[in-house]
Structure 1
């Protein structure tokens, strides 16, 4: 009887179903970009692209002895450095632009005859390259070998001499317009500015001059923009 009970218990243990295994989440499959996908643009931290925008200075205002008020201002100024076409390290190039407006207001005691509005740029270089020349000496030497054959050689000892000079400021007038009345405006767009022979840092700023004419008198006011260094 004991043997029969033991056999039944063994059969019952074999018939107990095993616990179900809980399936875990399937591992994520990395997404492969298609052949037409555009790669993301990675920007270096702390690097802001130069858009060329330059803040304009305060308007230049002057009251003439005759009682007229001359005002000269600028807005929407741009000075964008671009790679030099010559690829020379001593060349700098810009694309510049802006809008310059001049006006004459007030109740002066003279009769106005219009005037002129000039706009341009001032170019400066810290150190200008004056000249480069080759200096050296030429000598003759002879030698005779045991066979009786000799030779003459001409050694050259040369040095490259660079002569920098103090920088200078150059005024480049882009346009000068005559006008009648009291208001004038000049707009510049992508004016190409090039500096050569600059071994130091280069500087660029806009300028404008408003001239008002009256019988027997002439009044001038000048505007100078912010200086940009490259």
Structure 2
């Protein structure tokens, strides 16, 4: 969602945005729902073929290495890099969406962090403004710093907050947990923390309208500002 919203925001600023989802799993498991690569393609207004945007689109809803093994295929770093270079040649800027997290294995000998390092792109960490979100965000930042990968910022998401006992308004404990997660990540991460993005229920029913609302949020607009600073 964040990658697609960012692509929309950058495109609205007049940039020729390319998008990529190097590895995707669970393709076809959601019935008629579009795949992530197709969502990104639509959000970025790209004319590139879906197979170029998503060179590895696997059926099993598993981690990439497990899904590839089940499909009897091997995910190759060089194939992803070649696809990226071809896409990047036709666009001013590329938005590349990861899968799962920095240490998720993609191939036999490389993971998402290795791919980021080879692409040489600055990274946006997407996390949850919920209990457990502090650990996830800080571990990811630490893992990226170990490889000297530039981190543009952390974007935190609000998931749907359950209603309180009366059914009127959000649950007070869940709200405090979310607020404290945001405060601690800002205090301890050492990188810009954006959001949290509001939970957008419209995404489930009318994704284009819902994604447009997310793209207009301050966190996405600020992230686009950070990226624009390095665009010639």
TM-score, normalised to structure 2, is 0.19
Q: Select the structure of larger CA radius of gyration.
A: 1
Which structure's residues are more often strand, by fraction?
A: 1
**Superposition TM-score, scaled by structure 1 size:** 0.19
Higher share of residues assigned helix = 2
